[in-house]
Structure 1
Amino acid sequence: MNKWIFSSLLGLASAAQAHEFWIAPDRFSPPTDAPVTLSLRVGEGFLGEPVGFGQPMAVSLRWHNLRGNTDLTPQLPATEQASVQLSFDQPGTQLIALDTQPISTELAADEFTAYLREDGLERVIAQRQVSGQSALPGRERYRRHIKTMLHVGGKSDSMVGVRTGQTLEIVPLMNPQRLQPGDALPVEVLFEGAPLPRALVKFWSRRGQQFDMVTTRTDAAGKSTTALPWHGAWMVSVVHMVPNVDGKGHDWDSHWANLTFELPAASSAERKSQ
């Protein structure tokens, strides 16, 4: 990587309590030495609102490729900016991984239960029932662990399936660049490095005004396989929640992970040559 540019944060909506939060590159397959603008978005429907990059919200921002990994966190601005712009001097797969500072929130009991059900956390609903907490507000501290996958210079490589070491992580077990619409993408979900069984996995897609979501569950080995019906940008996400044990006034610690990538519109012959 040989360029790092920041653009100012102007008039961006505050959406800290919104749902999904992801890295949105302006393109997934840039030429070598050409800029890629990365922005953050938060909200629903794989559309959301822009939020800022900066040191106040980041625990870690790391860049991974076949040459190793680089900590970009010190290069983040002291105040949040609308986007960052990177360029890469070598072709191949590049992973950009962001881990955020924890955020505390409290929801009314019925809202918390609805949120748990929406994200497949029925196990937590049952735990709250057993402990007599069902009618109490949900006091939660959540962290984001998000990634985006870029393929520079039209090339992809074995970095596609590399684990970056995030607390909650989604790892593709097949190269999306080699898939055609309708093909299935297997993924593995890991929590603290171990397979996470029975996690609800959501695949998000938006084409213009049309939004679609496909869901599945991981098996006992933390893996799931989902058919992707069409080309374009995709996001795969998962949420995991565990009881809080540090005694700091939160009942639950939750972790939110996602990965954004592109299923290209290239021909089968072009994909096989990558």
Structure 2
Amino acid sequence: MNNSLRAMCAAFAVLASLPAAAHEFWMMAKPFSPAVGAPVAMTLHVGEYFSGDLIPFAATQSAALLLYSKGKPRDLVTQLPPETPLPELQMVFPNSGTYMLAFDGNPNEITLSADKFHAYLHEEGLDAIIAQRESAGNATAPGRERYRRHVKTLLRVGGKSDGSFAALTGQRLEIVPTSDPLAKAAGDTLGLTLFFDSKPLPNALVKAWHQRNGQTLMIRARTGADGKVSFGLPYAGAWMISVVHMVPVTDTPDIDWDSFWGNLTFELAGRKAGR
């Protein structure tokens, strides 16, 4: 293994162990709207405010990596080298339409001090967990957490999109658009449904992120009883939708909470003339 790959593996190990509390995890495509047959670089990122570090695709950290086209999945985990992480996935899409890449990470564990855990819960809108800790008399105890990442990204190939944006991947925490994000433009409203264990997730704090002129815009909204939420997206370009859900752990005494981090990225077109 050369020095650059060694450094990347070390960086991945460090980043994988960072507290989920402060770090989003997302996937990007360059470009999001390629021509048929053109090369596309898929990358994973971890950081804050839709800005962060590149981390590799690693078979040891990948619970699932599925490519959806026409609503049908293809397993890509078996194509990852078993020992050498890839800085990016180089892909070529042979047909026009929507492609969706879905990644699930293996679980990681972290313990946070009580004050940091409380601040994290508050920031992610996990008020029910704060209340549970208080009612159990554990508000001053460290937060022992096991977290998992569930991310997706959408691509529009050959200038066309289709219903693959709505394919259900079976991710434990899943963000599903109710209409085609790739057919929308700046200024449109995008509806989403949040699912946890295949059931609509109510009262979840959802965030929409966008970078513009060196600054990060973040819009917040909560899902209704039906798990639905909507955002008015004012600008063209890359958008990230994120959400965190947490439940008590039931399978081990060494961890208190399971958290699930959902993420969806896509590119919004510019406003069309006359709109």
State the SS of the aligned residue for 1:170. strand
Q: Please tell me the residue identity of whatever aligns with 1:56.
A: T
Q: How many residues align?
A: 263
Structure-2 separation of matches of 1:197 and 1:67: 26
State the SS of the aligned residue for 1:77. coil
Q: Does 1:69 align with 2:73?
A: yes
Structure-2 separation of matches of 1:160 and 1:183: 17
| Displacement after TM superposition at 1:174 (Å) | 1.4
1:167-197 per-residue CA deviation (whole Å, 9 max, x = no partner) reads 1000011112232322110000000100000
Using the size of structure 1 for normalisation, the TM-score is: 0.92
Gapped runs of 5+ residues in structure 2? none
Structure-2 separation of matches of 1:110 and 1:67: 44
Residue 252 of structure 1 is aligned with which of 252, 257, 275?
257
Does structure 2 retain, via aligned residues, the 8 Å contact 1:9–1:52?
A: no
State the SS of the aligned residue for 2:15. coil
State the SS of the aligned residue for 1:15. helix
Residue 19 of structure 1 is aligned with which of 13, 23, 29?
23
| Displacement after TM superposition at 1:146 (Å) | 0.3
- Compute the RMSD of aligned alpha carbons: 1.6
Larger mean Cα displacement after TM superposition, 241-250 or 113-122: 241-250
Determine the structure 2 residue equivalent to 1:222.
227
| Displacement after TM superposition at 1:56 (Å) | 1.0
Where has structure 1 moved over 6 Å in runs of 4 or more? none
Determine the structure 1 residue equivalent to 2:98.
93
1:194-231 per-residue CA deviation (whole Å, 9 max, x = no partner) reads 00000000001012411110000000000001100100
- Kindly, what percent of the aligned residue pairs are identical? 47
Structure-1 separation of matches of 2:187 and 2:95: 31
Structure-1 separation of matches of 2:226 and 2:114: 32
Does structure 2 retain, via aligned residues, the 8 Å contact 1:91–1:152?
A: yes
Does structure 1 retain, via aligned residues, the 8 Å contact 2:166–2:176?
A: yes
Using the size of structure 2 for normalisation, the TM-score is: 0.92
Any residues of structure 2 matched to 1:106-117 within 5 Å, and which? 106-117=111-122
Gapped runs of 5+ residues in structure 1? 1-7
Closer/same/farther in 2, CA of residues 197 and 67 from structure 1, 3 Å limit: closer
Residue 155 of structure 2 is aligned with which of 141, 147, 150?
150
Does structure 2 retain, via aligned residues, the 8 Å contact 1:241–1:255?
A: yes
Does structure 2 retain, via aligned residues, the 8 Å contact 1:28–1:150?
A: yes
Closer/same/farther in 2, CA of residues 152 and 131 from structure 1, 3 Å limit: same
State the SS of the aligned residue for 1:156. coil
Determine the structure 1 residue equivalent to 2:183.
178
Determine the structure 2 residue equivalent to 1:4.
none
Does structure 2 retain, via aligned residues, the 8 Å contact 1:185–1:225?
A: yes
Does structure 1 retain, via aligned residues, the 8 Å contact 2:153–2:264?
A: yes
Determine the structure 2 residue equivalent to 1:140.
145
Q: Does 1:59 align with 2:63?
A: yes
| Displacement after TM superposition at 1:24 (Å) | 1.3
Q: Please tell me the residue identity of whatever aligns with 1:211.
A: T
| Displacement after TM superposition at 1:45 (Å) | 1.2
State the SS of the aligned residue for 1:48. strand
| Displacement after TM superposition at 1:266 (Å) | 6.1
Determine the structure 1 residue equivalent to 2:236.
231
1:132-182 per-residue CA deviation (whole Å, 9 max, x = no partner) reads 110000000000000000011111001122211111000011112232322
Q: Please tell me the residue identity of whatever aligns with 2:111.
A: E
Determine the structure 1 residue equivalent to 2:32.
28
